Amino acid sequence: MSLDDWILALHLLSAFALVGAITIFWVVVLAIRSADRPSRVVALSPLFKLGSVVVVVGSLGVIVFGLWLAISLRAYHPWDGWVIAAIVLWAVASETGRRSDPEYRPAFVRAQELVAAGTDEPDAELAALCRPSAGLLLHSAATVATLLILLDMIWKPGA
């Protein structure tokens, strides 16, 4: 196995981490919308934390190892149209994903406060924080951009 084979494997594992994290966030986004009690929101914290770590590893891995391959392999170049398209889509996915995080974080903070205060009754403020329309929109945009990267990587238009 050559170094490029290893880099491709790491690039692929990073891509799995990125899409895997987006899937984890979708599980959280859908579950938190129907969470009617603070304890149920707090219960989702481990999933949210897992997604937050995995998405950073995946995002950085795909761009670093992807650019490495584009430079290292003779068949491809960083200035190829489909590579540039992937970089632009990666930037869009990263920024929209990053902006969706603070839309959901206040729900966890409020739920923690309520649980710490010994309250586990449905709370109107918490219910509103669990359904941020901007957060849903941003996460959807990050998902679409990431799916477009996957299509671009497989079809390689112009390659």
Partner 1 sequence: MLAWVRPHAFDFPLLLHVLGAMVLVGSTAAAVTAELASGRSPAPESLRRLAAKTFLLVAFPAYIVMRVGAEWIHSKEFPSGVSDPTWVGIGFVTADGGGIFLLVSIILAGFAAWKGKPRLGTAAGILAGIALVGWLVAVWAMGAKPA
**Is residue 31 at the binding interface for partner 1, with CB under 8 A as the rule?**
yes
Count of residues in contact with partner 1, rule CB under 8 A: 49
User: Which listed range, 47-55, 87-95, 101-109, 128-136, lies at the site for partner 1 (CB under 8 A)?
Assistant: 47-55
User: Which amino acid is located at 152 in the chain?
Assistant: D
User: Least distance in Å: CB of 120 to partner 1?
Assistant: 8
| CA distances for 150 relative to 3, 70, 109, 144, angstroms | 23, 16, 34, 10
Q: Which of 20, 99, 144, 148 binds partner 1 (CB under 8 A)?
A: 20
**Is residue 46 at the binding interface for partner 1, with CB under 8 A as the rule?**
yes
Binding mask 96-135 for partner 1 (x = CB under 8 A): -------------------x----x---------------
**Listed residue (14, 12, 157) closest to 86, CA to CA:** 157
Q: Which of 57, 69, 87, 137 binds partner 1 (CB under 8 A)?
A: 69
- Contacts from 83-90 at CB under 8 Å and sequence distance 24+? 85/152, 85/157, 86/149, 86/152, 86/153, 87/63, 89/145, 89/146, 89/148, 89/149, 89/152, 90/59, 90/62, 90/63, 90/145, 90/149
Binding mask 139-158 for partner 1 (x = CB under 8 A): --------x--xx-xxxx--
